[in-house]
Amino acid sequence: AAQVVAGAADTLVQAGSSRVSTSMRMASGGTWLTITGTGGFDYARRQGELTLELPKDAAGAEEHKPITELLTPGALYMKNRGEGVPASKWVRVDTTRLPDGNLVTGGATEPLAAAELLRGAERVTLVGEETRDGVRVRHYRGVADIARAAEAAPAAERGPLRAAAKGFTVTRVPFDAWLDSVGRLRELSQRFTFAAAVPDPGGTSGADSAADSSAYSTSDRDSYDSDPGTDARPSTTPRSEAGQGGTHGAGPGSDGAGTDRAASDPGATDAGSADRAAAGSGRAGAHRTPDRDVTVVSTTRYDLFGTPVPVIMPLAADIWAGKIVSAQSP
């Protein structure tokens, strides 16, 4: 089973491209904040485009403009990224400088990077056969060792994964993966848990925004920071999160704006088999503070394989080099 899952990235490259939809859910003060995205990715060229819909702020009162993201090797480009950035400008983030390997910083895990992480799959079990969008799939559950995945990945993918292996204190990530009859990923859900850092209240430069480049607004980042390097603790990806967590919506119990009470979410407290498999397998965080732990559930769905994904790169003159006040904070 582990070999089947570990080959998922190679199968995506062979498929060429696909449409993707994403959901990234963050537990914040008893509430799940959800970012959803739609777009496409070219696995052969390692680039794609996503449109992200942000949640309201923590008080549920603020609407945010969608963020357009261009995913490319070594760089992430975002439009409508932050207050004070002209609407016509892009913010460029050097993803090689991100200590999480851009697994959570951009508000969506890059679809190929998510699959590359499975090269480190271990303790994999077959949960059973299910259906995803009318397609029969096999559901696998296990944990992925980031450092092991980095060493097994192609040279172009090793840098971000190695950064993530160093940035996260615990390097084993529980996952649920659904593969079709030819081994293509149809859905992948991964759960990251790490200790929050104190956010930087000041502005950052558009040219050097790696430390403050999250798609989450600063009003939400009292519980989230783009740098997970202080600590990490894996948890589970329960079926309720992976199958219903909102790649096409905001998840169960949502108010329709991307937030829902964690208490009403069965995945918020369910430890599950993946968590038990991961228990004790990572490096212990000597200074972890459980009440400051942040859980991020990243789910990616893949469909319409072979769909062309044109990506038009911004010109140098279109890249913002000024200050960014915040990521669409009030």
| Span of 1-10, 230-239, 273-282 with lowest mean pLDDT | 230-239
Q: Which helix (H) or strand (E) holds 272?
A: helix 272-278
* Per-residue pLDDT, 274: 40
Render 125-151 in DSSP notation, one character per residue: EEEEEEEETTEEEEEEEEEEEHHHHHH
Task: Report if residue 320 sits inside a domain.
Answer: yes
In a domain, 287, yes or no: yes
Dump pLDDT digits (tens) for 100-127. Answer: 888 998 999 999 999 999 999 999 999 9
* Res. 131: pLDDT tops 80: yes
Fill in the amino acid letter for 114.
Answer: A
275 inside domain: yes
Distance CA 294, CA 105 (A): 13
Give mean pLDDT, residues 289-299. Answer: 74
Average pLDDT, the chain: 75
Element (H, E) at 239: helix 239-244
pLDDT over 60 at 261, yes or no = no
Residue 329 covered by a domain:
no
Integer Cα distance of 217 and 300 in angstroms: 21
Give a yes or no: residue 330 inside a domain. Answer: no
pLDDT reading at 24 higher than 90: yes
pLDDT at residue number 65: 86
| Helix/strand/coil for 15 | helix
In a domain, 61, yes or no: yes
Q: What is the pLDDT of residues 197-238, one digit of tens each?
A: 533 333 344 444 433 444 443 233 332 233 333 333 333 333
Question: Pick the residue with more confidence: 245 or 303?
Answer: 303
> How many whole angstroms from its chain centre is CA 252?
19
At residue 161, does pLDDT exceed 50? yes
Number of domains in the chain: 1
pTM for this predicted structure: 0.74
Higher-pLDDT residue of 201 and 89 is 89
DSSP characters for 181-241?
A: TTS-EEEEEEEEEEE------S-EESTT-GGG--SS-TTTTTS--S--TT-B------HHH
Q: Would you say residue 7 lies in a domain?
A: yes
Query: What is the model's pLDDT at position 101?
Result: 86
Position 328 scores a pLDDT of: 47
Whether 240 has a pLDDT exceeding 70, the answer reads no
Whether 290 is in a domain gets the answer yes
Enter the DSSP assignment of 316. Answer: G
At 165-191, the pLDDT tens digits run: 887 777 889 999 999 999 999 999 999
Residue 60 binned pLDDT confidence (cut-offs 50, 70, 90):
low
Name the more confident of 144 and 293: 144
The tokens describing 197, both together, are 């850092």
Q: How many helices (H) and strands (E) does the chain have?
A: 7, 14
Beta bridge partners, 176, equal 141, 189
What is residue 165's predicted lDDT score, i.e. its pLDDT? 86
Q: Does residue 81 register a pLDDT over 50?
A: yes
Across 63-87, average pLDDT: 89
The residue among 131, 138, 161, 136 whose CA lies nearest residue 148 is: 161
Report the percentage of the chain scoring pLDDT > 70: 65
Q: Which domain holds residue 295?
A: 2-324
Residue 146 has pLDDT above 50, yes or no: yes
The confidence score (pLDDT) of residue 96 equals 84
